[in-house]
Amino acid sequence: MTRKILIFAADMAYRALDQAGLLHVHYSPNTVIIRIPCASMLRPDLILHAFQSGFDAVFVASSGPDCPFMGQECVGKTAKRIEKAYELLDEHGIDRNRLVVAGVCSTCVETILGTVERLEEVVGE
Amino acid sequence: MTERTKIGVYVCHCGGNISDYVDVEKVVDSVKDLPNVAVARHFVFMCSEAGQQLIKDDIKNLGLDGVVVASCSPHLHEKTFRDAAKAAGLNPYLLEHVCIREHSSWVHSDNREGATRKATWIVKTAIAKISLARELQPIRLDVEREAIVIGGGIAGLRCAIDLARAGSTVHLIESSPFLGGRVPQIYKLYPSGKSGCEIVEELIDEIKRYPNIKIYTNAEILSAGGAIGDFKVTVKVNPRYVGKVSDDVIAKCPVEVPDEFNYGLTKRKAIYKREHSYPDIPVIDMDACTKCGECNPDFDQQPQTIELKGSLIVLATGFKPYEPEEGEFGYKVHDGVITLPVFERLLALSDGKLEYNGKEVRDIAFIYCVGSRNEEHEYCSRYCCVATLNASLGALEKFDGLRAYHIYRDIRAYGKYETYYEEAGKKKMLFIKYDPEEPPVVEKSGNKLIVRVKDLLTAGEELEVPVDLVVLSVGMLPEMSEVFTMLRVPFSRDGFLQEVHPKLRPVETAIGGVLLAGACQGPKDTVEATASASAAVAKADTYLVKGYAELEPFIAEIDPEKCDGCEECVGECPTSAISIKDGKAVVNEALCKGCGACGGVCPTKAINLRGYYYDQLEKMIDSVGGD
Amino acid sequence: MPEGYDALVVGGGIAGMEASLTLGDAGFDVLLVEKEPSIGGHMIQLSKVFPTTDCAGCITTPKMAATGKHPKIKLLTYSEVEGIEKTGKKFRVRILKKPRYVDENACIGCGRCEQACPVLIPKEWEYGLIGRKAAYIPFEMATPKKALIDLDNCIMCGRCERACPKEAINFLQEPEEIEVEVKAVIIATGYNLFSPEKKKEYGYTGNLTVIHTSANPNIIHGMQMERLLAPSRPYHALVRPGDGKVPERVAWVLCTGSRDKSVGNPLCSRVCCMYSIKQALLYSSAVPFGEAAIYYMDIRAFGKGFEEFYNMVRELGVEFIKGKVAKIESRNGNPVIIAENTETGEIMEEEYDMVVLAIGLLSNPEAVKALGVELDQYGFVAQPQENSNPAVTDKEGIFVAGTATCPKDIPDTVAEASAAAAQCIAYLEEVGS
């Protein structure tokens, strides 16, 4: 079975993924993108659900401080969700390194490439 | 809820942009037998008339209850396809547009198998999402004919006039005490040859004709927020400390300080006004004023705080010229090294002969691309080549016996402006092309400045050009404003404000109802700035003249059965859209912007975000998780 | 009484479509007149567009569809404005609808007439790279997607008539005079391409099939290269026209017919630097081991994101040679560029598999003649208030957008089209109904 990384892409991060396409850069195709407006909507149990459903890693690509809904506030709110998600992962014996959150602005293509590469290493080939 | 079972799936080739790297037939084959799918097809251009017709026909003939289109980014054509679904009688929110071009074919062009697999995954998640999609209705919002324009330079003036002419009330906010911005400082504008003052005076004459333009000068923005149809901007209008007085009264002021309009080339009084501008009321510069009372001042004037509302906001905040570092091409180290904007003022103010700091100028070197096309500012500032050529031609026309040297990288005299380049050649000005790796060096030698430069046009010959004045052709930087952060407008990589798409939506930002005009979006000359200002008005008119806007229905929804009134969500909402009534949370639909933060903390899972219901997200995950 | 509209838009390229859509979205009734059988203009022919490398079709096709079915926009294709006269606050406009020899209402665009037609001539839309029939649909994404018959090349065999399932073919169709009344006009008539044949020393003849010393089919022009690089390209592969070989060394000659008084055009065409850089990028990804060289005078990468794009392409290894090309000769079917490298003073002689002449954009005065607006010395529509209001012409109520005033790129064209629409809306609101 192919290793799979789930990317929850908030508004700005989704634009950055578009930007990556326009620039024709490459990253791992073992990625599935689910579009959400803002990372603050992610319930920690949904993140756990992704692992239980068969994903090997989850990348929460938030809009960071560029969030069109709440700006800087987004960082703190998202962090709270992720903190809870980490606790859930611990409870279920899932390696914390398989969950990464990053603020991705609309042109932050490098952040996407770097994070996906890191997660690829964590989950192995 | 019951699942949708007649979903149509449409995979686009995008002419080859997708199908060259993604096996579209295989994608179709992998999903066509899924339980919720009624039909799956691929087509060369789904967005074309024929492609849209295909979807419409299937909706009608097969009675589809959901549609998935897999093609380019939904930022490009989600609306196109939703409109098509609507035209065929399907609720537009039962159509999901997913991206397999930017997110698959273009980033995995090195891996056809991987790209195809990923495209299939993305399509599967979309089918899962639509299988649980609810019918949604857009939120229709009445839009009053009232708009806020921030910035009173040439772009802001153009905007205000065009909005007012089409019948809207305009609030025009300018931070400095006078309208006009930077254009009046220009000696002669290309291509008309008129002075910057003249052009701005013409626009201000027009502004005065429209009582529906409300002008706030000397105004600071304290807060700005809201959404399309309902923006609020609070401004603090600072006092001028004086009413309308005659020029004789102004002349009585004993204080003299450098005049910033002329970059300190001349002096002004502590009380001053601008002849070309508006309002025709002077202002007292309190940092300089000695409170002698000669000008009949009113020091008791207080700042006024005014709350403005508008259905839309146009940002016309403009640019600022790049300020070179000390020592950059001798700037601020050697006397006689100035920037292009200062040279413009020098030209306008000098008569008879050209002098700088009391010394007559005979030879001028113009150094191009200062603060542009380098590591710090990678972009080209667009206007400076022609502006510099134009200024040099203006100088030669006004003063006899000048010699000019243009030390450049590429002369970007685009379009009709090529004639300025040609004219400069005819006037025997010399052109020297420098290598950015070995930029020119400016030194002082006795009475003269020496520019040392290797000329690429003569195989790298080392030249020494003795001149009296070095003019640095400085680039444009965005003029920053607090309001950008208040409204959360995103920036491009070059630091200017970012448009949604340069060709499809060039004046819109990611923030609905916030539009861009002029150089805040990128370097522009006056022709381009005023065109973009009118373009912003055209976009605004599509709401203001029509009288309403339709907004996406993606807002929070609360299940009162599950809600126990714990108030977790109330504190989480960034726009205070949730309150508790009768022990249950209630969403104010006008305030909710649809982030979903409330859903993220609800302990009883009572909150959903429309369009992104949690059961949809779970099913999306499951549709691929087991693959 | 003639039919009435709020605004007439002349020209259905990107500028005309954008202006029409803006006016229509704001609730005004628009008549869009296009002289070709389909709207779309030059933009729909392009491959990808700089600096985002979006495919041109991906942007244009939905605009065409939106224009074609907008409830507020009436489309008249294959039609030309013949005259315009202002009476009071309104313009009375005479339009000539040219005969398609196909009943537009009946035609379903099935293409059977095209299959049946035995005549084969070069297809204008592909700049002669491939052929078309005398009965034809202009191109795949044409809007409206309706056939027409090119009577000049038709042999009157009647096969199309027999093949048509809708009995839409009508050889007796006459030109139709239509008169309408409008309150305002937007000119979006676009540009003409420079004919590279005029630059004799570059050896372009337009003959794409025969190789002999004076006519080298491997010297093509920029628009032909656009077609070769488009996703819907003629041969479904990037090959040179002369012999179908994949070109391994390609050179671009900038300023062909621009900044050149010897051919009567002293102006810069504004887009050729960038389109050539973009073509070099697209070529490099289509032929990864290919070599690309660009001969230039100045690289004018002045728009938003352009310099960054130029730097990216330069870093990818495309060679930039500052030098004016004096002559292009032929050797064994390969074009040979003779140029002076301005930076070294050397005379260079380089053989390539294919040379692309980056032809420029000229004015299109014929298309605006009937509208009676003032033109400048180059034949572009004059802008008497260009610094403060570039969309107005010398005639009240007539506005202008896009390359009708000067060569320009798509972002600038789109901005101007909206600007013209804004001026038009302000004017319409002021003159009232």
Q: Is C422 close to B457, i.e. CB distance below 8 A?
A: no
Closest in A27, A71, A106 to B498, CB measured: A106
pLDDT at C208: 63
Chain C hits for B494, Cβ within 8 Å = 304-305, 308
* Residue in the structure block whose two tokens are 């299940």: B559
Q: Taking CB atoms and an 8 Å cut-off, how many pairs form between chains A and C?
A: 5
In the structure, what pLDDT confidence band is assigned to residue A107 with cuts at 50, 70 and 90? Answer: confident
Q: Is C422 close to B412, i.e. CB distance below 8 A?
A: no
pLDDT tens string C336-384 = 999 999 988 899 999 999 999 999 999 999 999 999 999 999 999 999 9
Rg (CA), chain B: 30
Q: Is A24 close to C52, i.e. CB distance below 8 A?
A: no
d(CA C339, CA C348): 5
Q: DSSP letters of C256-294?
A: ETSSBGGGTB-S--SSHHHHHHHHHHHHHHHSTT-EEEE
Query: Do C315 and C341 form a contact (C-beta atoms < 8 A)?
Result: no
Q: Which of residues 309-368 of B touch C (CB under 8 A)?
A: none
Rg (CA), chain C: 23
d(CA C407, CA C42): 13
Chain B hits for A67, Cβ within 8 Å = 488, 595
- Asked if the model's pLDDT at residue B561 lies above 90, the reply is yes
Query: For testing the chain B interface, which of A2, A53, A108 should be mutated: the one with the most B CBs within 10 Å?
Result: A53
Q: Does B455 touch chain C (CB under 8 A)?
A: no
pLDDT tens string B405-457 = 999 999 999 999 999 999 999 999 999 999 999 999 999 999 999 999 999 99
Gap from B317 CA to chain C (nearest CA, Å): 17
pLDDT at B15: 80
Percentage of chain C modeled with pLDDT above 70 = 98
C3-98+175-191+363-431 CATH fold: FAD/NAD(P)-binding domain (3.50.50)
- The superfamily CATH assigns to domain C194-360 is FAD/NAD(P)-binding domain (3.50.50.60)
Chain A's closest residue to C55, CA to CA, is A22
For the residues B472-492, what does the mean pLDDT come to? 93
Alpha carbons within 13 A on the beta-carbon side of B580: 12
Chain B's closest residue to A71, CA to CA, is B488
Q: Does C53 touch chain A (CB under 8 A)?
A: yes
CA C301 to chain centre: 21
Q: Do domains C3-98+175-191+363-431 and C194-360 have the same CATH topology?
A: yes
Chain B hits for C385, Cβ within 8 Å = 192
Gap from B260 CA to chain A (nearest CA, Å): 35
Q: Is C232 close to B16, i.e. CB distance below 8 A?
A: yes
In the structure, what pLDDT confidence band is assigned to residue A77 with cuts at 50, 70 and 90? Answer: very high
- For chain B, list the domains and their CATH numbers: 7-136 (3.40.50), 146-238+303-318+480-544 (3.50.50.60), 243-301 (no CATH), 323-477 (3.50.50.60), 552-610 (3.30.70.20)
pLDDT at C433: 54
pLDDT at A87: 97
Chain B hits for C427, Cβ within 8 Å = 165
d(CA B241, CA B165): 33
| 3-state SS assignment for residue B557 | strand
Which helix (DSSP H) or strand (DSSP E) does residue B412 occupy?
A: none
Instruction: Record the pTM.
Output: 0.89
Q: Does A24 touch chain C (CB under 8 A)?
A: yes
Q: Is C65 close to B411, i.e. CB distance below 8 A?
A: no
pLDDT at C212: 47
Q: Is B106 close to A105, i.e. CB distance below 8 A?
A: no
| 3-state SS assignment for residue B161 | helix
Closest in A25, A52, A55 to B107, CB measured: A25
Chain C hits for B518, Cβ within 8 Å = none
> What are the CA-CA distances from residue B528 to residues A80, B369, B381, C388 (Å)?
46, 20, 13, 9
Q: Does B97 touch chain C (CB under 8 A)?
A: no
Chain B hits for C54, Cβ within 8 Å = 76, 503
Angle value at C-alpha A77, between A100 and A13, nearest 5 degrees:
50
CB atoms within 10 A of CB C405: 26
Query: Do B59 and B69 form a contact (C-beta atoms < 8 A)?
Result: no
d(CA A33, CA A8): 6
Chains touching chain B, criterion 3+ CB pairs below 8 Å: A, C
Query: Do B218 and B295 form a contact (C-beta atoms < 8 A)?
Result: no
Query: Dmax of chain B from CA atoms?
Result: 90
- Asked if the model's pLDDT at residue C213 lies above 80, the reply is no
CA nearest B181: which of B508, B510, B493, B533? B533
pLDDT at B297: 96
Q: What is the four-CA torsion angle of C329, C334, C340, C342, rounded to 10 degrees?
A: 150
Q: Which of residues 25-84 of A touch B (CB under 8 A)?
A: 25-38, 40-43, 46, 49-50, 52-55, 66-71, 73-74, 77, 80-81
Q: Is A21 close to B73, i.e. CB distance below 8 A?
A: yes
Q: How do C176-187 and C90-97 pair as beta strands?
A: antiparallel
CA nearest B39: which of B70, B84, B9? B9
The CATH class for the domain spanning A5-123 reads: alpha beta
Tell me the backbone φ, ψ of residue A93, rounded to 5 degrees.
Answer: 65, 35
Q: Does A22 touch chain C (CB under 8 A)?
A: yes
Chain B's closest residue to A62, CA to CA, is B595
Gap from A28 CA to chain C (nearest CA, Å): 20
DSSP code of C382? Answer: P
Angle value at C-alpha B218, between B214 and B223, nearest 5 degrees:
80
Chain C's closest residue to A24, CA to CA, is C53
Q: How do A99-103 and A57-62 pair as beta strands?
A: parallel
Q: Is C390 close to B530, i.e. CB distance below 8 A?
A: yes
d(CA C190, CA C380): 10
In the structure, what pLDDT confidence band is assigned to residue B156 with cuts at 50, 70 and 90? Answer: very high
Chain A hits for B572, Cβ within 8 Å = 40, 77
pLDDT tens string C74-90 = 999 999 999 999 999 99
d(CA B32, CA C335): 51
Q: Does A92 touch chain B (CB under 8 A)?
A: no
* Residue in the structure block whose two tokens are 């520019």: B451
DSSP code of B435? Answer: B
Residue type, B600: G
- Asked if the model's pLDDT at residue C211 lies above 70, the reply is no
Which helix (DSSP H) or strand (DSSP E) does residue C331 occupy?
A: strand C319-331
pLDDT tens string B272-311 = 999 888 999 999 999 999 999 999 999 999 999 999 999 9
Chain A hits for C53, Cβ within 8 Å = 22, 24
Helix axes C272-286 and C222-229, enclosed angle (nearest 10)? 40
Model ipTM?
Answer: 0.97
Backbone φ/ψ region at A22: left (φ over 0), alpha (ψ -120 to 50), beta = alpha
Query: Do B120 and B27 form a contact (C-beta atoms < 8 A)?
Result: yes
Task: Give the pair of three-digit tokens for residue B17.
Answer: 């942009």
Tell me the backbone φ, ψ of residue B139, rounded to 5 degrees.
Answer: -90, 115
Q: Is C26 close to B546, i.e. CB distance below 8 A?
A: yes
Chain B hits for A71, Cβ within 8 Å = 485, 488
Chain B hits for A42, Cβ within 8 Å = 600
Residue type, C68: G
